[in-house]
Amino acid sequence: MWKLLKIELFKIFRRPRTYIAFAAIAAIITLIQLAFYSDGEAFLQFGMQSLKETFDINGKIVNGYLVCYVILQTLLIHVPLLIALIAGDAVAGEANMGTLRLLLTKPVSRSQFMWTKFMATVIYTLLLLVFMAALALFLSVSIFGTSDLIILKSETIVILDRHDILWRYFGAFGFAAIAMTTVASLAFLLSVFAENSIGPIVATMSIVILFTILTTMDIPFFNAIKPFLFTNHMLNWKGFFEEPVNYREVLKSATILIGHIVFFVFTAIAIFKKKDILS
């Protein structure tokens, strides 16, 4: 299994397409950091004008933790597309290239083949998040320094002490890893049905976008189905920035997402095991 996994990772990381996601993330993060570096202070002063009438705010508002929070909010909506680029290609890409039939004439069971593919996709997803964390958190902290984190919500303000933040980011990135793996496993499942990777990538993004719209619409009819939409739970990384953290809610969302992963992956394997390879 380890040998197969090494082969899969070798294939993924020898493809130029793989690095598009890393380059895109680096570009977006750098742009946000640049924007904060040049105009961040003025922008925040403007945004917090009404608060200053009520509160006396001192200290360094624009700091590495705040920049990282903004980056996370922006990127975690777009990262699923980058994840789908690789996960949607996992099986469909091999079918499209014609390599699938040669691979499956090797003495490897289809379950092994699929598990290896999925594990390689998860490793790619985790590496993307680690890369994102390194740039968004550590680079931001090294550029902007640290201070207390002020988060404005629609009805409340959360102020987190600078010494009480880092672990929350670790928690948030850990949760994001589960959320992104959910997207990866959906794309992986759809990949089994297609013979080119465009279909599963577009289908995955369409599902994520549709579910996200339904999640954000405050209409009573949609409220009833929201708990069943995985996108609704994907945003609960923000739970780590509540005071106190609602662990029950975060754990519930994580469990639901893991349930989705298990369902998507096992369905993909069950279908693939019976599939006639005609590509």
Partner 1 sequence: MSAIINVHHLSKQFGEISAVSNLSFSVKKGEVYGFLGQNGAGKSTTIRMLLTLIRPTEGDIEILGLNLRKHRKQILRQTGAIIEKPDLYKYLTAMENLRLFAAMSGVKIPGKRYAEQMEMVGLTERADSKVKTFSQGMKQRLGIAIALVHDPQLIILDEPTNGLDPQGIADVRNLILHLSKDLGKTVFVSSHLLNEIEQIADSMLIIDKGKKMAEGKVTDLFNPLDTIVELETGDNNDALEKLKQSAWKDYIQEYDSKKILVKLGKEDIPSFARQLIQMNIEIHSLSGRHSLEDYFLTLTTANKHVETFKN
Q: In the complex, which residues of this chain contact partner 1 (CB under 8 A)?
A: 3-4, 7, 10-11, 14-16, 97-99, 101-109, 274, 276-278
Pairs from 157-165 (Cβ < 8 Å, separation ≥ 24): 157/51, 158/241, 158/242, 158/243, 159/243, 160/65, 160/241, 160/243, 162/63, 162/65, 165/65
Q: Which of 147, 172, 210 is nearest to 71 (CA)?
A: 172
Q: Which is nearer to partner 1, 62 or 95 (CB)?
A: 95
Distance in Å, CB of 272 to partner 1, minimum? 12
Q: Which is nearer to partner 1, 5 or 57 (CB)?
A: 5
Collapsed DSSP state (helix, strand, coil) of residue 42: helix
Q: Which is nearer to partner 1, 121 or 253 (CB)?
A: 121
Q: Which is nearer to partner 1, 14 or 163 (CB)?
A: 14
Distance in Å, CB of 237 to partner 1, minimum? 35
Distance in Å, CB of 15 to partner 1, minimum? 6
Counting DSSP H helices and E strands in the chain, the numbers are 13, 2
Q: Which is nearer to partner 1, 10 or 170 (CB)?
A: 10
Collapsed DSSP state (helix, strand, coil) of residue 16: coil
| H/E run at residue 157 | strand 157-160
Token representation of residue 117: 């593919």
Distance in Å, CB of 17 to partner 1, minimum? 9
Q: Are 234 and 257 in contact (CB under 8 A)?
A: yes
Distance in Å, CB of 7 to partner 1, minimum? 6
Rg over CA atoms, the chain: 21
